[in-house]
Amino acid sequence: MTSMERDLEGRRALVTGAASGIGEAVARELAGRGAHVVVADLELEGAERVANAIGGEPWVVDLTDLDALAETPLTADILVNNAGIQTVSPIEDFDPARFRMMIDLMVTAPFLLTRAVLPGMYATGWGRVVNISSVHGLRASAFKSAYVTAKHGLEGLSKVIALEGAPHGVTSNCVNPGYVRTPLVERQIADQARLHGIPESEVVEKVMLTGPSARMVTGSSYVMDGGWTSR
């Protein structure tokens, strides 16, 4: 590898929801670029599998246990807020407890994790916060009230982190993918088929930044959705 490819040598990264899907891919990429990666996930087996594969460390954590999370001391040069879940349901049928839990997981937990690592980032004058948002952080879809609300909230939080972090060498950005074939998306297929009145076989077709040189990139949202948000 070139020196640019190992540009995160000596950095410590924390990636949530890193036992599979996008989080796992991010953890592997950061480790490949030299970072020591904390693989945070609710699932012990998956966290250990990924951590062992990349020479990182597993952290089994329930990000919805907000009181415990608020008291957990953390250090990281790079924080990737990726953990998320999805529920597809009309608003009138949406379980209020499920709604609150999704907001806790995808907005309050990223706030608490950021709150925990910012002092260390400020002390060293360098930090990267990457929030895995969604096209649903910019636009809405029916039947996804909690997810859309959470991702819009994450977008706002990310911009505030960017403003507060700027004087301290800390950047904060959102990445906004469309559908990515991960376990989270796979579990939506049956629900999408039922709500849209189409076969499961048609759902996929019809429905569905961290290095030193990135210091000038902050407060932004990077959309990778094949033009979906431009419609």
Confidence of residue 218 (pLDDT cuts 50, 70, 90): confident
Contacts of residues 134-142 at CB distance under 8 Å and 24 or more positions apart, as own/partner, are: 134/176, 134/177, 134/178, 135/176, 135/177, 135/178, 135/223, 135/225, 135/228, 135/229, 137/174, 137/176, 137/221, 138/176, 138/221, 138/223, 138/229, 139/228, 139/229, 142/90, 142/195
Using alpha carbons, select from 112, 86, 109, 111 the residue that is nearest to residue 98: 86
Catalytic residue (one of 122, 147, 179, 222): 147
pLDDT, residue 207, reads 39
Is the pLDDT reported for residue 181 higher than 70?
no
pLDDT, residue 1, reads 46
Domains and CATH numbers, the chain: 12-225 (3.40.50.720)
Using alpha carbons, select from 177, 165, 175 the residue that is nearest to residue 215: 165
pLDDT, residue 205, reads 43
189-215 pLDDT per residue, tens: 566 566 657 665 554 444 336 677 677
Dist CA 42 CA 40 (whole Å): 7
Cα distances (Å, whole numbers) of residue 178 to 103, 118, 170, 181: 20, 29, 26, 10
Instruction: Output the six-digit token pair for 188.
Output: 């939506």
By the 8 A CB rule, do 131 and 85 touch?
Answer: no
pLDDT, residue 222, reads 74
Confidence of residue 50 (pLDDT cuts 50, 70, 90): very high
83-135 pLDDT per residue, tens: 999 999 999 999 999 999 999 999 999 999 999 999 999 999 999 999 999 98
222 tagged catalytic: no
- Whole-model pTM? 0.84
pLDDT, residue 212, reads 73
Average pLDDT of the chain? 87
pLDDT, residue 196, reads 59
3-state secondary structure of 91: helix
